[in-house]
Amino acid sequence: MGLPAAHLIDTTRRIPIVAAGVMLWSLSTIASAFAVDFTTLAICRAGIAAGEAVLTPAAISLIADLFPREKRATPVSVYSATAGIMGTGALVVGAATLNLASVLAPMTGIEPWRMTMILVGLPGVFLSVLLPLTVREPARVLSEGDGQRNEADLASFLAELRENWRMYLPFYLAIGAAAMYILGFLSWAPTILVRLYGYEASAAGYLLGLIGIPAALASAFFWPWISNRLAAKGREHALLATILISALILAPVFIIAPLAGSAIAVVLGVGFIKLANGSGTLAPLIIQHYGPSQMRGRLMAIYTLSASVVGLTGGASLIPFFASFWPNDPRALIYGVSLLGVIAAVLIILGYWLAGRAAVAKSGTLAKSTMVTEGRPAPSTAGR
């Protein structure tokens, strides 16, 4: 649903689309509580994914129109911080809700996991009604230099991707690789704590949340601050430079963190990964900066697809696959995470580096084109 929804986001009013998406995923969450078999549960879970597909593309598009370019970092950081915090915070909320549902079970006669679905779905129904009553639809603001790329039609979007594939392709592959590892590790970290170190499932959720929430919050504001510092020093492509720095810091941690010899060390590794990961905030800023105004929704939809389809599905599946290389070894899941870290680290660093090179080349081409248009000769490249 990501790209079709994002096309609507780029061409129609966004607030009603967001409200509809929130309502869909909330009702689908509640409906999951009444599933009678795997098929009905899978359909309800697919409804959640379809509803969620609208939020990030619409949010980044709205922020770009509500704030000028030089003031977007803070609202994007706040939005990314919320997502980053709840990526781990969901473990805390889930653990607390599951405990509450267990207390309510004797009174309601509803199994705890089913009551958990109902309780976490209800707030979204309220918010989906509140949103269009409290948030105005901003006018679309065209980016400077967009030129002919301000059209929202499909042909222009495909032309943008085709002409700048050297930047977009490695960028999205790096996003997918980062999400593949981080989401995969977060998916299996509670299981590692339960199987290897004897934690209860709810206790594992609390422990990971307590370290992950502050780390994600700090990361959301720290990396844009670093980018702003580089930009203030004259670094033209500060955002891409910063996300590459983040990847270089993450690479060794990806491999080492899971191999830690204690539960606390594993939890601290998760926390440091959340802190050092700059893609959650920087990637939307990069898309806002380099993407044409009328295409940000679809460019963010591809970002979401890279993170969710490649990231969540790939990471959660590859870790147990790699773990099967060490049959009967109690630390097999940890080895699987580290092996995935080796692969992800290479793809992330290479992807961001190639995207940065393409962005530099693109900006040089645009500068020459502008000079020619204004009647000035382009600078000679002889001898370079």
Q: What CATH number should be reported for the domain holding residue 364?
A: 1.20.1250.20
Residue 129 in any domain: the answer is no
Residue 218 in any domain: the answer is yes
Q: Hey, what are 313's tokens?
A: 């599905």
Per DSSP, helices labelled H in 71-200 are 73-108, 112-134, 154-163, 165-197
pLDDT cut 70: percent of the chain above it: 91
Instruction: Report CA Rg, the chain.
Output: 22
Long-range own/partner contacts, residues 216-219 (CB < 8 A, 24 or more apart): 216/81, 216/84, 216/85, 216/87, 216/88, 216/89, 216/274, 216/275, 216/280, 217/81, 217/84, 217/85, 218/275, 219/84, 219/274, 219/275, 219/276, 219/277, 219/278, 219/280, 219/281
Residue 378 in any domain: the answer is no
Residue 240 in any domain: the answer is yes
Report whether pLDDT(146) > 50: no
Residue 149 in any domain: the answer is no
User: Could you tell me the residue range of the domain that residue 254 belongs to?
Assistant: 2-124+154-373
Residues contacting residue 49 through CB under 8 Å, at least 6 positions apart: 1, 25, 308
Domain count across the chain:
1
Report whether pLDDT(269) > 70: yes
Q: Hey, what are 376's tokens?
A: 């000035």
Convert the pLDDT of each residue in 40-56 to its tens digit.
999 999 999 999 888 98
Mean pLDDT on 14-29: 95
Residue 219 in any domain: the answer is yes
Residue 199 in any domain: the answer is yes
Convert the pLDDT of each residue in 328-374 to its tens digit.
898 999 999 999 999 999 999 999 999 999 998 877 654 454 444 44
Mean pLDDT on 6-34: 93
Q: How high is the pLDDT of residue 378?
A: 47
Report whether pLDDT(193) > 80: yes
Q: Measure the CA–CA gap between 297 and 47, rounded to whole angstroms.
A: 20
Residue 38 in any domain: the answer is yes
Q: What is this structure's pTM?
A: 0.76
